[in-house]
Amino acid sequence: MAEAVLDARLLPLPLIEGAQDDGTLNKSLNAYVWQAPQRGWLALLLLGMAGTGVLFSAIALTIAKGIGLWGNNIPVGWAFGIINFVWWIGIGHAGTLISAILLLFQQKWRTSINRFAEAMTLFAVMQAALFPVLHTGRPWFAIYWLFPYPSTNSIWPQFKSPLMWDVFAVSTYFITSLLFWYLGLIPDLAALRDSSTSRRARIGYGIFALGWRGSARHWHHYKIAYLLLAGLATPLVLSVHTIVSWDFALSILPGWHTTIFPPYFVAGAVFSGFAMVLTLLIPARRYMGLKHVVTARHLEAMAKVMLLTGLIVEYGYLMEHFAAWYSGNEYEQHIFFVTRPRGPYAWAYFTQMFCNVVVPQMFWTRWARRNVWTLWIGAVLVNVGMWFERFNIIVTSLHQDFIPSNWAMYYPTWVDLSLLFGTICFFGTLFLIFLKFLPAVATSELKELNHELAHGGGMSELEGARP
Protein backbone atom coordinates (compact mmCIF):
# COMPACT_ATOMS: atom_id res chain seq x y z
CA MET A 1 0.00 0.00 0.00
CA ALA A 2 2.76 2.41 1.02
CA GLU A 3 4.56 1.47 -2.15
CA ALA A 4 1.56 2.36 -4.28
CA VAL A 5 1.27 5.79 -2.67
CA LEU A 6 4.92 6.47 -3.28
CA ASP A 7 4.57 5.42 -6.91
CA ALA A 8 1.71 7.77 -7.53
CA ARG A 9 3.73 10.67 -6.17
CA LEU A 10 6.76 9.85 -8.26
CA LEU A 11 4.77 9.53 -11.47
CA PRO A 12 4.72 12.71 -13.52
CA LEU A 13 1.38 14.38 -14.01
CA PRO A 14 -0.39 13.27 -17.20
CA LEU A 15 0.01 15.17 -20.47
CA ILE A 16 -3.53 14.34 -21.52
CA GLU A 17 -6.15 13.75 -18.85
CA GLY A 18 -8.89 11.17 -19.14
CA ALA A 19 -9.28 8.37 -21.67
CA GLN A 20 -9.30 10.19 -24.99
CA ASP A 21 -9.53 9.02 -28.57
CA ASP A 22 -9.42 10.88 -31.85
CA GLY A 23 -13.13 11.54 -31.77
CA THR A 24 -13.29 12.97 -28.26
CA LEU A 25 -10.18 15.09 -28.79
CA ASN A 26 -11.59 16.53 -32.00
CA LYS A 27 -14.87 17.36 -30.35
CA SER A 28 -13.48 18.82 -27.15
CA LEU A 29 -10.70 20.85 -28.76
CA ASN A 30 -12.88 22.38 -31.44
CA ALA A 31 -16.00 22.77 -29.31
CA TYR A 32 -15.19 26.41 -28.69
CA VAL A 33 -15.21 27.18 -32.42
CA TRP A 34 -18.71 25.78 -32.92
CA GLN A 35 -20.28 27.30 -29.81
CA ALA A 36 -22.09 30.60 -29.95
CA PRO A 37 -19.74 33.31 -28.63
CA GLN A 38 -19.80 33.60 -24.85
CA ARG A 39 -20.64 36.85 -23.16
CA GLY A 40 -17.25 37.17 -21.52
CA TRP A 41 -15.57 36.76 -24.90
CA LEU A 42 -17.78 39.42 -26.47
CA ALA A 43 -17.15 41.83 -23.58
CA LEU A 44 -13.38 41.35 -23.82
CA LEU A 45 -13.52 41.72 -27.58
CA LEU A 46 -15.38 45.02 -27.27
CA LEU A 47 -12.83 46.30 -24.75
CA GLY A 48 -10.00 45.17 -27.00
CA MET A 49 -11.53 46.86 -30.01
CA ALA A 50 -12.02 50.09 -28.07
CA GLY A 51 -8.34 49.98 -27.11
CA THR A 52 -7.43 49.25 -30.72
CA GLY A 53 -9.32 52.42 -31.61
CA VAL A 54 -7.08 54.30 -29.18
CA LEU A 55 -4.05 52.74 -30.87
CA PHE A 56 -5.14 53.72 -34.36
CA SER A 57 -5.93 57.26 -33.21
CA ALA A 58 -2.47 57.55 -31.66
CA ILE A 59 -0.90 56.20 -34.86
CA ALA A 60 -2.88 58.65 -36.99
CA LEU A 61 -1.84 61.54 -34.76
CA THR A 62 1.81 60.47 -34.78
CA ILE A 63 1.84 60.27 -38.55
CA ALA A 64 -0.08 63.51 -39.05
CA LYS A 65 1.78 65.66 -36.50
CA GLY A 66 5.12 63.86 -36.24
CA ILE A 67 7.00 62.23 -33.41
CA GLY A 68 7.23 65.53 -31.59
CA LEU A 69 4.08 64.27 -29.89
CA TRP A 70 6.20 61.65 -28.16
CA GLY A 71 8.25 62.38 -25.07
CA ASN A 72 11.56 61.65 -26.86
CA ASN A 73 14.18 64.35 -26.56
CA ILE A 74 17.93 64.73 -26.82
CA PRO A 75 19.64 62.89 -25.10
CA VAL A 76 16.77 60.35 -24.78
CA GLY A 77 16.26 59.87 -28.53
CA TRP A 78 15.18 56.27 -28.15
CA ALA A 79 12.43 55.78 -25.66
CA PHE A 80 9.00 54.13 -25.71
CA GLY A 81 9.34 53.37 -29.42
CA ILE A 82 12.26 51.03 -28.82
CA ILE A 83 11.27 49.83 -25.34
CA ASN A 84 7.95 48.58 -26.68
CA PHE A 85 9.57 47.15 -29.80
CA VAL A 86 12.04 45.07 -27.78
CA TRP A 87 9.38 44.08 -25.24
CA TRP A 88 6.94 42.83 -27.87
CA ILE A 89 9.50 41.06 -29.98
CA GLY A 90 10.87 39.35 -26.89
CA ILE A 91 7.41 38.12 -26.00
CA GLY A 92 7.17 36.55 -29.41
CA HIS A 93 10.22 34.38 -28.82
CA ALA A 94 8.50 31.90 -26.53
CA GLY A 95 6.18 30.88 -29.35
CA THR A 96 9.04 29.92 -31.63
CA LEU A 97 10.94 28.27 -28.81
CA ILE A 98 7.93 26.10 -27.98
CA SER A 99 7.02 25.29 -31.56
CA ALA A 100 10.51 24.77 -32.96
CA ILE A 101 13.19 24.12 -30.35
CA LEU A 102 11.02 21.94 -28.12
CA LEU A 103 9.91 20.00 -31.21
CA LEU A 104 13.53 19.24 -32.07
CA PHE A 105 14.17 18.24 -28.45
CA GLN A 106 11.08 15.96 -28.65
CA GLN A 107 9.44 17.56 -25.63
CA LYS A 108 5.97 16.03 -25.71
CA TRP A 109 4.40 18.74 -23.59
CA ARG A 110 4.90 21.32 -26.32
CA THR A 111 2.14 19.77 -28.44
CA SER A 112 -0.75 21.13 -26.38
CA ILE A 113 0.50 24.70 -26.33
CA ASN A 114 2.44 25.25 -29.55
CA ARG A 115 -0.44 26.57 -31.68
CA PHE A 116 -1.42 28.98 -28.95
CA ALA A 117 2.14 30.19 -28.42
CA GLU A 118 2.81 30.57 -32.14
CA ALA A 119 -0.29 32.74 -32.53
CA MET A 120 1.05 34.82 -29.67
CA THR A 121 4.36 35.17 -31.54
CA LEU A 122 2.68 36.41 -34.70
CA PHE A 123 0.52 38.95 -32.95
CA ALA A 124 3.39 40.15 -30.74
CA VAL A 125 5.70 40.64 -33.74
CA MET A 126 2.96 42.65 -35.44
CA GLN A 127 2.82 45.02 -32.45
CA ALA A 128 6.62 45.18 -32.30
CA ALA A 129 6.97 46.09 -35.97
CA LEU A 130 4.69 49.12 -35.55
CA PHE A 131 7.10 50.99 -33.29
CA PRO A 132 10.27 51.34 -35.37
CA VAL A 133 8.14 52.10 -38.42
CA LEU A 134 6.38 54.93 -36.57
CA HIS A 135 9.65 56.04 -35.02
CA THR A 136 11.07 56.79 -38.46
CA GLY A 137 8.68 59.76 -38.42
CA ARG A 138 7.79 59.50 -42.07
CA PRO A 139 7.11 55.81 -42.60
CA TRP A 140 6.31 56.31 -46.28
CA PHE A 141 9.94 57.37 -46.84
CA ALA A 142 11.37 54.62 -44.64
CA ILE A 143 11.00 52.06 -47.40
CA TYR A 144 13.78 53.76 -49.42
CA TRP A 145 16.44 53.06 -46.86
CA LEU A 146 15.01 49.99 -45.11
CA PHE A 147 14.44 47.71 -48.08
CA PRO A 148 16.74 47.28 -51.08
CA TYR A 149 14.18 48.44 -53.58
CA PRO A 150 15.19 50.03 -56.87
CA SER A 151 13.92 53.58 -56.63
CA THR A 152 14.63 56.33 -59.17
CA ASN A 153 16.85 58.02 -56.56
CA SER A 154 19.31 55.11 -56.89
CA ILE A 155 19.84 55.28 -53.14
CA TRP A 156 20.54 51.98 -51.44
CA PRO A 157 20.47 50.87 -47.80
CA GLN A 158 23.61 50.79 -45.64
CA PHE A 159 23.98 47.11 -44.81
CA LYS A 160 26.70 47.72 -42.23
CA SER A 161 24.13 49.11 -39.81
CA PRO A 162 22.63 46.82 -37.14
CA LEU A 163 19.33 48.60 -37.75
CA MET A 164 19.31 47.14 -41.26
CA TRP A 165 20.10 43.70 -39.86
CA ASP A 166 17.11 44.18 -37.62
CA VAL A 167 14.82 44.86 -40.57
CA PHE A 168 15.92 41.62 -42.23
CA ALA A 169 15.85 39.62 -39.01
CA VAL A 170 12.37 40.73 -37.95
CA SER A 171 10.80 40.37 -41.38
CA THR A 172 12.33 36.91 -41.85
CA TYR A 173 11.15 35.99 -38.38
CA PHE A 174 7.60 37.13 -39.05
CA ILE A 175 7.34 35.36 -42.41
CA THR A 176 8.84 32.13 -41.02
CA SER A 177 6.54 32.16 -37.99
CA LEU A 178 3.50 32.83 -40.17
CA LEU A 179 4.25 30.04 -42.65
CA PHE A 180 5.17 27.56 -39.92
CA TRP A 181 1.94 28.36 -38.09
CA TYR A 182 -0.14 28.07 -41.24
CA LEU A 183 1.44 24.79 -42.30
CA GLY A 184 0.55 23.39 -38.88
CA LEU A 185 -2.98 24.72 -39.21
CA ILE A 186 -3.79 23.13 -42.59
CA PRO A 187 -4.81 19.66 -41.27
CA ASP A 188 -6.80 21.27 -38.46
CA LEU A 189 -8.54 23.59 -40.90
CA ALA A 190 -9.46 20.51 -42.93
CA ALA A 191 -10.85 18.93 -39.75
CA LEU A 192 -12.93 22.06 -39.11
CA ARG A 193 -14.14 22.00 -42.72
CA ASP A 194 -15.13 18.36 -42.32
CA SER A 195 -16.85 18.75 -38.96
CA SER A 196 -18.68 21.93 -39.95
CA THR A 197 -22.44 21.86 -40.05
CA SER A 198 -23.09 25.04 -41.99
CA ARG A 199 -22.29 25.61 -45.63
CA ARG A 200 -20.68 28.96 -44.85
CA ALA A 201 -18.24 27.45 -42.35
CA ARG A 202 -17.49 24.61 -44.71
CA ILE A 203 -16.61 26.98 -47.55
CA GLY A 204 -14.74 29.36 -45.25
CA TYR A 205 -12.55 26.72 -43.64
CA GLY A 206 -12.42 24.84 -46.94
CA ILE A 207 -10.72 27.77 -48.69
CA PHE A 208 -8.00 28.00 -46.04
CA ALA A 209 -7.60 24.21 -45.86
CA LEU A 210 -6.62 24.41 -49.56
CA GLY A 211 -8.26 21.04 -50.29
CA TRP A 212 -6.15 19.07 -47.80
CA ARG A 213 -7.36 15.46 -47.73
CA GLY A 214 -4.81 13.92 -45.39
CA SER A 215 -3.27 11.64 -47.96
CA ALA A 216 -0.45 9.47 -46.59
CA ARG A 217 1.79 10.69 -49.40
CA HIS A 218 1.15 14.28 -48.40
CA TRP A 219 1.69 13.53 -44.73
CA HIS A 220 5.03 12.01 -45.62
CA HIS A 221 6.27 15.28 -47.19
CA TYR A 222 4.42 17.34 -44.61
CA LYS A 223 6.27 15.83 -41.65
CA ILE A 224 9.64 16.54 -43.23
CA ALA A 225 8.63 20.06 -44.28
CA TYR A 226 7.40 20.74 -40.75
CA LEU A 227 10.57 19.42 -39.18
CA LEU A 228 12.77 21.43 -41.55
CA LEU A 229 10.82 24.61 -40.80
CA ALA A 230 11.35 23.89 -37.11
CA GLY A 231 15.04 23.40 -37.75
CA LEU A 232 15.24 26.73 -39.56
CA ALA A 233 13.14 28.57 -36.98
CA THR A 234 15.48 27.39 -34.22
CA PRO A 235 18.48 29.54 -35.17
CA LEU A 236 16.04 32.37 -35.86
CA VAL A 237 15.00 32.41 -32.19
CA LEU A 238 18.63 32.98 -31.31
CA SER A 239 19.47 35.31 -34.19
CA VAL A 240 16.55 37.75 -33.95
CA HIS A 241 17.10 38.84 -30.40
CA THR A 242 20.86 38.68 -30.84
CA ILE A 243 20.51 41.18 -33.67
CA VAL A 244 18.10 43.28 -31.60
CA SER A 245 20.73 43.37 -28.84
CA TRP A 246 23.37 44.51 -31.37
CA ASP A 247 21.28 47.63 -31.98
CA PHE A 248 22.53 48.51 -28.50
CA ALA A 249 25.74 46.56 -28.04
CA LEU A 250 27.44 47.91 -31.20
CA SER A 251 27.12 51.48 -29.94
CA ILE A 252 29.61 52.92 -27.45
CA LEU A 253 27.10 54.01 -24.84
CA PRO A 254 27.74 52.86 -21.26
CA GLY A 255 25.05 50.36 -20.32
CA TRP A 256 24.68 49.22 -23.95
CA HIS A 257 28.24 48.43 -25.00
CA THR A 258 28.47 44.95 -23.45
CA THR A 259 29.38 41.59 -24.94
CA ILE A 260 26.95 39.77 -22.64
CA PHE A 261 24.04 41.39 -24.48
CA PRO A 262 23.20 38.74 -27.11
CA PRO A 263 22.74 35.73 -24.77
CA TYR A 264 21.25 37.94 -22.09
CA PHE A 265 18.70 39.36 -24.53
CA VAL A 266 17.78 35.94 -25.92
CA ALA A 267 17.24 34.54 -22.42
CA GLY A 268 15.24 37.64 -21.46
CA ALA A 269 13.09 37.20 -24.55
CA VAL A 270 12.28 33.59 -23.73
CA PHE A 271 11.71 34.53 -20.08
CA SER A 272 9.18 37.24 -20.95
CA GLY A 273 7.62 35.12 -23.68
CA PHE A 274 6.89 32.25 -21.33
CA ALA A 275 5.48 34.75 -18.86
CA MET A 276 3.10 35.99 -21.57
CA VAL A 277 2.12 32.44 -22.59
CA LEU A 278 1.21 31.70 -18.96
CA THR A 279 -0.64 35.00 -18.59
CA LEU A 280 -2.84 34.12 -21.56
CA LEU A 281 -3.03 30.36 -21.20
CA ILE A 282 -4.17 30.12 -17.58
CA PRO A 283 -7.47 31.95 -18.15
CA ALA A 284 -7.92 30.55 -21.68
CA ARG A 285 -7.60 26.89 -20.65
CA ARG A 286 -10.27 27.41 -18.04
CA TYR A 287 -12.82 29.27 -20.14
CA MET A 288 -12.27 27.25 -23.28
CA GLY A 289 -12.45 23.87 -21.58
CA LEU A 290 -8.87 22.85 -22.38
CA LYS A 291 -7.85 21.65 -18.95
CA HIS A 292 -7.68 18.03 -20.15
CA VAL A 293 -4.92 18.83 -22.64
CA VAL A 294 -3.21 21.77 -20.91
CA THR A 295 -2.66 20.12 -17.56
CA ALA A 296 -0.79 21.07 -14.40
CA ARG A 297 2.17 19.29 -15.98
CA HIS A 298 2.30 21.86 -18.81
CA LEU A 299 2.03 24.80 -16.46
CA GLU A 300 4.72 23.35 -14.26
CA ALA A 301 7.06 22.80 -17.22
CA MET A 302 6.56 26.41 -18.30
CA ALA A 303 7.27 27.64 -14.78
CA LYS A 304 10.52 25.69 -14.86
CA VAL A 305 11.55 27.26 -18.18
CA MET A 306 10.75 30.66 -16.69
CA LEU A 307 12.87 29.92 -13.65
CA LEU A 308 15.78 28.73 -15.80
CA THR A 309 15.73 31.63 -18.27
CA GLY A 310 15.18 33.99 -15.34
CA LEU A 311 18.40 32.71 -13.80
CA ILE A 312 20.26 33.32 -17.07
CA VAL A 313 18.87 36.86 -17.12
CA GLU A 314 19.99 37.36 -13.53
CA TYR A 315 23.45 36.15 -14.48
CA GLY A 316 23.35 38.79 -17.24
CA TYR A 317 22.54 41.48 -14.67
CA LEU A 318 25.35 40.28 -12.48
CA MET A 319 27.89 40.27 -15.32
CA GLU A 320 26.87 43.74 -16.49
CA HIS A 321 27.56 45.12 -13.05
CA PHE A 322 30.75 43.10 -12.69
CA ALA A 323 32.07 44.25 -16.07
CA ALA A 324 31.31 47.87 -15.20
CA TRP A 325 33.18 47.55 -11.93
CA TYR A 326 36.07 45.57 -13.41
CA SER A 327 36.51 47.85 -16.43
CA GLY A 328 37.41 50.75 -14.17
CA ASN A 329 35.65 52.98 -16.71
CA GLU A 330 34.01 55.82 -14.81
CA TYR A 331 31.16 56.25 -17.32
CA GLU A 332 30.28 52.57 -17.08
CA GLN A 333 30.46 52.72 -13.30
CA HIS A 334 28.35 55.84 -13.23
CA ILE A 335 25.52 54.12 -15.14
CA PHE A 336 25.56 50.89 -13.14
CA PHE A 337 26.30 52.18 -9.65
CA VAL A 338 24.94 55.72 -9.63
CA THR A 339 22.35 56.41 -12.32
CA ARG A 340 20.42 53.15 -12.20
CA PRO A 341 20.24 52.31 -8.48
CA ARG A 342 20.42 55.86 -7.09
CA GLY A 343 19.30 58.17 -9.91
CA PRO A 344 15.86 59.63 -10.60
CA TYR A 345 14.69 56.37 -12.18
CA ALA A 346 15.79 54.17 -9.27
CA TRP A 347 12.16 53.12 -8.76
CA ALA A 348 12.17 51.59 -12.25
CA TYR A 349 15.45 49.81 -11.49
CA PHE A 350 14.06 48.30 -8.30
CA THR A 351 10.78 47.35 -9.99
CA GLN A 352 12.84 45.47 -12.58
CA MET A 353 14.97 43.76 -9.94
CA PHE A 354 11.99 42.80 -7.81
CA CYS A 355 9.94 41.40 -10.70
CA ASN A 356 12.75 39.64 -12.56
CA VAL A 357 15.06 38.55 -9.76
CA VAL A 358 12.95 38.08 -6.63
CA VAL A 359 9.55 36.95 -7.97
CA PRO A 360 10.69 34.00 -10.13
CA GLN A 361 12.52 32.45 -7.16
CA MET A 362 9.17 31.26 -5.84
CA PHE A 363 9.11 28.76 -8.70
CA TRP A 364 11.72 26.71 -6.88
CA THR A 365 8.80 25.35 -4.85
CA ARG A 366 6.44 22.84 -6.38
CA TRP A 367 3.52 24.54 -4.68
CA ALA A 368 4.08 27.81 -6.54
CA ARG A 369 4.54 25.98 -9.84
CA ARG A 370 1.26 24.10 -9.48
CA ASN A 371 -0.93 26.86 -8.12
CA VAL A 372 -2.55 28.80 -10.97
CA TRP A 373 -2.75 31.97 -8.90
CA THR A 374 0.92 32.14 -7.99
CA LEU A 375 1.78 31.20 -11.56
CA TRP A 376 -0.44 33.86 -13.07
CA ILE A 377 0.58 36.65 -10.74
CA GLY A 378 4.24 35.68 -11.09
CA ALA A 379 3.92 35.68 -14.88
CA VAL A 380 2.25 39.11 -14.96
CA LEU A 381 4.96 40.53 -12.70
CA VAL A 382 7.65 39.12 -14.98
CA ASN A 383 5.99 40.83 -17.94
CA VAL A 384 6.08 44.10 -16.03
CA GLY A 385 9.66 43.50 -14.93
CA MET A 386 10.83 42.78 -18.44
CA TRP A 387 9.24 45.99 -19.69
CA PHE A 388 11.08 47.93 -17.01
CA GLU A 389 14.32 46.13 -17.88
CA ARG A 390 14.13 47.62 -21.37
CA PHE A 391 13.12 50.97 -19.88
CA ASN A 392 16.25 50.91 -17.73
CA ILE A 393 18.53 49.80 -20.53
CA ILE A 394 17.26 52.51 -22.87
CA VAL A 395 16.14 55.50 -20.83
CA THR A 396 18.49 55.45 -17.87
CA SER A 397 21.53 54.82 -20.07
CA LEU A 398 20.61 57.72 -22.35
CA HIS A 399 19.38 60.33 -19.91
CA GLN A 400 22.75 60.74 -18.21
CA ASP A 401 25.42 60.39 -20.86
CA PHE A 402 29.05 61.51 -20.98
CA ILE A 403 28.62 65.25 -20.34
CA PRO A 404 26.46 66.33 -17.39
CA SER A 405 25.32 69.45 -19.26
CA ASN A 406 23.57 67.10 -21.72
CA TRP A 407 21.56 65.35 -19.04
CA ALA A 408 17.79 65.52 -19.20
CA MET A 409 14.81 63.68 -17.84
CA TYR A 410 12.43 61.71 -20.02
CA TYR A 411 8.69 61.63 -19.46
CA PRO A 412 6.30 59.73 -21.73
CA THR A 413 3.43 61.75 -23.20
CA TRP A 414 -0.14 60.56 -23.40
CA VAL A 415 0.52 59.55 -27.03
CA ASP A 416 3.35 57.26 -25.88
CA LEU A 417 1.12 55.71 -23.25
CA SER A 418 -1.77 55.34 -25.71
CA LEU A 419 0.50 53.51 -28.14
CA LEU A 420 1.66 51.08 -25.45
CA PHE A 421 -1.85 50.56 -24.09
CA GLY A 422 -3.26 50.37 -27.63
CA THR A 423 -0.87 47.65 -28.74
CA ILE A 424 -1.79 45.58 -25.68
CA CYS A 425 -5.45 45.91 -26.68
CA PHE A 426 -4.78 45.23 -30.37
CA PHE A 427 -2.78 42.14 -29.40
CA GLY A 428 -5.63 41.00 -27.16
CA THR A 429 -8.20 41.58 -29.89
CA LEU A 430 -6.26 39.54 -32.45
CA PHE A 431 -5.82 36.83 -29.86
CA LEU A 432 -9.52 36.67 -29.00
CA ILE A 433 -10.41 36.42 -32.68
CA PHE A 434 -7.87 33.62 -33.07
CA LEU A 435 -9.28 31.74 -30.06
CA LYS A 436 -12.79 31.88 -31.44
CA PHE A 437 -12.20 30.98 -35.08
CA LEU A 438 -9.23 28.63 -35.09
CA PRO A 439 -8.37 25.56 -33.03
CA ALA A 440 -6.28 26.89 -30.13
CA VAL A 441 -4.65 23.48 -29.71
CA ALA A 442 -2.90 21.69 -32.58
CA THR A 443 -5.54 18.98 -32.89
CA SER A 444 -3.91 16.70 -35.43
CA GLU A 445 -0.59 16.80 -33.57
CA LEU A 446 -2.32 16.09 -30.28
CA LYS A 447 -4.21 13.15 -31.75
CA GLU A 448 -0.89 11.74 -32.89
CA LEU A 449 0.62 12.31 -29.42
CA ASN A 450 -2.38 10.62 -27.82
CA HIS A 451 -1.91 7.62 -30.08
CA GLU A 452 1.79 7.57 -29.31
CA LEU A 453 1.14 7.74 -25.56
CA ALA A 454 -1.42 4.96 -25.72
CA HIS A 455 0.62 2.57 -27.90
CA GLY A 456 4.10 3.93 -27.38
CA GLY A 457 7.22 2.22 -26.19
CA GLY A 458 8.99 2.05 -22.84
CA MET A 459 8.07 5.45 -21.50
CA SER A 460 4.37 5.06 -22.13
CA GLU A 461 3.75 3.86 -18.59
CA LEU A 462 5.23 7.06 -17.25
CA GLU A 463 4.02 9.46 -19.90
CA GLY A 464 0.75 7.80 -20.70
CA ALA A 465 -2.75 9.14 -20.55
CA ARG A 466 -4.19 8.05 -17.23
CA PRO A 467 -7.84 8.35 -16.32
Partner 1 sequence: MRRFVLGEFTEPDACVEAARRLRDGIDDALAIQRSKVPVVALTGGVLGALGGYTLQWYLNSRAYPINVGSRPQHGFWTNIPITFESGVLIAVLSIFFGSIFWFFRLPRTYHPVFESERFRTASLDAFWISAETSDENAVADLERKFREAGAHKVHTVAEAT
**Contact footprint for partner 1 (CB under 8 A):** 21-23, 26, 148, 154-160, 164-165, 168-169, 171-172, 175-176, 179-180, 182-183, 187, 190-191, 193-195, 210-214, 216-218, 220-222, 224-225, 228-229, 232, 235-236, 239, 243, 246, 444, 451, 455
Cβ nearer to partner 1, comparing 157 with 343: 157
Least distance between partner 1 and beta carbon 50 (Å): 36
The DSSP result for 386-409, as a single string, is HHHHHHIIIIIHHHS-SSGGG---
Cβ nearer to partner 1, comparing 221 with 291: 221
Cβ nearer to partner 1, comparing 17 with 448: 448
Which residue intervals of 196-260 are DSSP H helices? 199-209, 216-249
d(CA 50, CA 425): 8
Cβ nearer to partner 1, comparing 143 with 318: 143
Q: Give the H/E segment covering residue 305.
A: helix 296-327
Least distance between partner 1 and beta carbon 115 (Å): 16
Least distance between partner 1 and beta carbon 150 (Å): 10
Cα 170 from chain centroid?
13
Least distance between partner 1 and beta carbon 156 (Å): 4
d(CA 119, CA 137): 29
Helix, strand, or coil here: 56? helix
Cβ nearer to partner 1, comparing 60 with 210: 210
Least distance between partner 1 and beta carbon 207 (Å): 8
DSSP category for residue 100: I
What's the one-letter identity of residue 255? G
Cβ nearer to partner 1, comparing 153 with 405: 153
d(CA 402, CA 1): 71
Cβ nearer to partner 1, comparing 164 with 312: 164
d(CA 245, CA 12): 38
Cβ nearer to partner 1, comparing 62 with 176: 176
Least distance between partner 1 and beta carbon 176 (Å): 5
Least distance between partner 1 and beta carbon 24 (Å): 9
Least distance between partner 1 and beta carbon 120 (Å): 20
Cβ nearer to partner 1, comparing 133 with 164: 164
The DSSP result for 310-355, as a single string, is HHHHHHHHHHHHHHHHHH--HHHHIIIIIIHHHSTTHHHHHHHHII
What angle, rounded to 10 degrees, do the helices at 414-437 and 22-34 form? 130
What's the one-letter identity of residue 142? A
Q: Give the H/E segment covering residue 190.
A: helix 162-195
User: What are the backbone dihedrals phi and psi of residue 49, each rounded to the nearest 5 degrees, phi first?
Assistant: -70, -35
Least distance between partner 1 and beta carbon 224 (Å): 5
